[in-house]
A and B are shown apart, each in its own frame.
Chain A
Amino acid sequence: MSTQPQRPRRPRTRKSQRAVFIAVAVCVLGTAVILALSALEDTVVFFYSPSDVAARGAPVGEEARIGGLVVEGSITKEGAATVFTVTDLQHSVTIAYAGILPDLFREGQGIVAEGTFAPSGRFEASRVLAKHDESYMPPEVADALKASGQWQEGGT
């Protein structure tokens, strides 16, 4: 408590209080929305199916996500890196990933990789997502398979 009674700078009426409240609220929420919208422009990562890459070309250097089924027999090692191919059963993309693959990574499994395309067209993944559940199919991969006409309902 201050001992000197302060002269209020503005009349403390309910109307002015509400005006201040609304003004501050608009400022803060406005900042949040502006921040969110500008961040969305820069930070959003697009998903590509192997067919998208074949049709539109690889977006070299741009942060991207790739999804598909791991091709049987395509997994090889290059030092600490694992190189494998994913497919939507129409086209395929080669992915290199240096690190420990998720527990459920295996041939035939639907996976999503995050990373960038190298100029060579190979996808350098920084993270590979395979799900906790063996009967789970990432929605993007399921849609990519549906788009390529290879989806079998009920099959995983």
Chain B
Amino acid sequence: MIPEIGHFVLVLALAVAVVQTALGLYGPVLADARLMYMASRAAGLQAMLLALAFAALTYAFVTSDFSVTNVYENSHSAKPMLYKVSGVWGNHEGSMLLWILILAVFGAGVAAFGTNLPDTLKARVLGVQGMIGAVFTLFVVTASNPFIRLDPAPINGTDLNPLLQDPGLAFHPPFLYGGYVGLSVAFSFAAAALIEGRVDAAWARWVRPWALVAWASLTVGIALGSWWAYYELGWGGYWFWDPVENASLMPWLAATALLHSAIVVERRGALKAWTVLLAILAFSLSLLGTFLVRSGVLTSVHAFAVDPERGLFILAILVFFIGGALALYAWRAPSLKLGGVFAPVSRESALVVNNLFLTAATAAVLIGTLYPLVLEGVTGEKISVGPPFFNATFVPLVIPLLLLVPFGPMLAWKRADAMATAQRLYAAAIAAFAVGLVALFVVDGAPILAAVGLAIGVWLIAGAAVDLAERARLGRIPLAQSLRRLNGLPRAAWGTAVAHAGVGVLVLGVIGVTAGAQERVALMAVGDSLEIGPYEVVLDAVTAQPGANYQADRGIFTLRRGGAALAQLTPEKRFYPVARMPTTEAAIRTTIVDDVYIVLGDLQTDTTSDGAQQWIVRAYHNPLQPLVWVGCIVMVLGGLLSLSDRRLRVGAPVRRRANRVPASTAAEVTP
């Protein structure tokens, strides 16, 4: 009964989404306030209906109702509760339902929090949002319905893929989708602005918080996915330049660019057309990501069983929205009023340069990801584009960007003094050089590029600190006064500094792992030891270890350094009988400066003369690896700080009202 209700409200949600589209897009044409108000209510109703549908599916999973095909294929009664719940979105149908639910929740958020939006703009945003919802709900209802029944109902399910039974992956899709789908709001705002024919500072102020939420969510989602791949796949790496990873990186890069260019629109009224285009591109890349992941057109280490027909459906949706939005852009963008002028050296220019490098990097990733598809379509030749390609393209495009990051926030709007800014950054430059030199001479055989990379990381962190210190006039006025200034800085300024420092921490981690990672593979019998980095790993025993819904062989290793035992590491090799699938559970000992990572491999029986049992053991020493995750967390914190800024906060009516009147005339007044 419950799944039927879920199915029913899903179809209702489709109907409501269609109504929302019609009301939202046609209401402003008729200038009918009641129709436009109805669009807002429809957005709320759509979110409620989809939440009900999602709850119904969750209920089916939690109660292990195997008469529902989706539950039968992806769950099992012996599975722990967390994975019964995460199993709801651990499969194609359920994840698409989550996708449209998040989409509707964002739409309802615009309806609920956008009380200060002009009526017509709000209605059009909801109209476009409703159209995306309608098309994707149609996809779910017709091509990927999670509520289809199975008759007769099987006794038990076939289990969720064991690799997905993991806390990191339980929360990865919701955050990733929060990011992908959150960008739909920026897209809807862009399309609505194009229909309205007006983009002003107020528009950017409304778009930015949504873009920030999406960006932060996407950052968390990517980091969780990367962390999962790191400890679950047992390959010792966290990023493989795999098509599915690239699919999430591209919208992230575009969203990062969008965040920055929206600042220029908000503060200076310039770069309007570009920002609108970026908003369209960011969501287009999200759709492309969904398509690449869900269609299986690319060989990927993350590929799951997929259905090509669904791929075609999503491709059609992709072409419709991207093509439609770009056509609308080509038609309407020339009518956007031009913004203020600025000198080649200014905050605006710095943000333009940021955008150029980010888009160029996105383009490089896009070429590398799609080239195999194009080549196979044209010549039939099958190729793969791997890490060497991205090292040769993405890295050189990102390095100049990273070098310029500390300058950006310190340059004045409109026209700035490059030399004066450079002088204020000398402390950061000295710190960076010092670290680079230390790395070069102290660490044995550190490659020059690694030293440069570490210096860049320090440059970013120190640059962010200098930015804050300058704003607080640290050292030039009494300390107490400086601290008061620091405390009184807008949250957005803190957000900028913290996020940029986070990038620096991330760079340190990436360089540490890239330059310093060590990998060793060995056959080990009980009592054998293996040296890895500064450590020594001793195999003490291998025991059988029964789990909730699996059996495991557990290796017990002692980690030593200089003769002293530091920790016990217990990697496992698990076997899930229901899914008939083995998995490896790496054991990781992490400090703030490095990770030791051990994977237990196959048993080699009787290969030595004395007949001792030997296991293949793979060990990694990854210096600075934890900084990769810390950097992501710090970046997200920066984003959240910026989000909490008064100017962007939802309930800051004083500022809003003050901006609202001039905003509508600003477009005409701005030279």
Chain A residues at the B interface, C-beta cutoff of 8 Å? 1-2, 6, 8-10, 12-14, 17, 20-21, 24-25, 28-29, 31-33, 35-36, 38-40, 42-47, 65, 77, 79-80, 98-101, 103-104, 112, 114, 129, 131-136, 138-140, 143
The answer to whether B304 and A29 have CB atoms under 8 Å apart is: no
The answer to whether B363 and A29 have CB atoms under 8 Å apart is: yes
Chain B residues at the A interface, C-beta cutoff of 8 Å? 161, 163-164, 234, 296-299, 301-306, 338, 341-344, 352-353, 356-357, 359-361, 363-364, 367-368, 371, 381-386, 388-389, 392-393, 396-397, 412, 415-417, 420, 521-523, 579-584, 599, 601-602, 604, 607, 616, 618
* Other 4 A-B pairs with CB < 8 A, given A39-B368, A100-B616: A14-B341, A39-B389, A45-B384, A100-B584
The answer to whether B163 and A132 have CB atoms under 8 Å apart is: yes
Give Cα A2 to B414, complex, Å: 13
CB distance from A104 to the nearest CB of B (A): 7
The answer to whether B341 and A12 have CB atoms under 8 Å apart is: yes
**Closest chain B residue to A48 by CB distance?**
B382
The answer to whether B303 and A132 have CB atoms under 8 Å apart is: yes
Which residues from chain B contact A143 at a C-beta distance below 8 Å?
382
Give Cα A41 to B266, complex, Å: 42
Given the interface contacts A35-B396, A43-B388, A47-B383, does A79 sit within 8 Å of B368 by beta carbon? no
Give Cα A136 to B297, complex, Å: 13
List 10 A–B pairs whose Cβ atoms lie within 8 Å, in order of A's numbering.
Answer: A14-B341, A36-B363, A44-B384, A46-B381, A80-B523, A99-B618, A100-B234, A138-B299, A139-B299, A140-B382
Given the interface contacts A39-B388, A132-B161, does A29 sit within 8 Å of B356 by beta carbon? yes
The answer to whether B382 and A42 have CB atoms under 8 Å apart is: no
CB distance from B442 to the nearest CB of A (A): 32
Given the interface contacts A32-B397, A43-B388, A100-B618, does A136 sit within 8 Å of B234 by beta carbon? no
The answer to whether A135 and B581 have CB atoms under 8 Å apart is: no
Interface residue SS majority, chain A: mixed
Which residues from chain A contact B359 at a C-beta distance below 8 Å?
29
The answer to whether A103 and B368 have CB atoms under 8 Å apart is: no
CB distance from A148 to the nearest CB of B (A): 14
Give Cα A134 to B415, complex, Å: 60
Given the interface contacts A29-B360, A35-B397, A99-B521, does A42 sit within 8 Å of B618 by beta carbon? no
Which residues from chain A contact B521 at a C-beta distance below 8 Å?
80, 98-100
Which residues from chain B contact A131 at a C-beta distance below 8 Å?
301, 303-304
Which residues from chain A contact B296 at a C-beta distance below 8 Å?
139
**Closest chain B residue to A2 by CB distance?**
B417
Which residues from chain B contact A35 at a C-beta distance below 8 Å?
364, 392-393, 396-397
Give Cα A13 to B341, complex, Å: 7
**Closest chain A residue to B581 by CB distance?**
A134
The answer to whether B397 and A43 have CB atoms under 8 Å apart is: no
Which residues from chain A contact B583 at a C-beta distance below 8 Å?
103
Give Cα A99 to B520, complex, Å: 9
CB distance from A76 to the nearest CB of B (A): 11
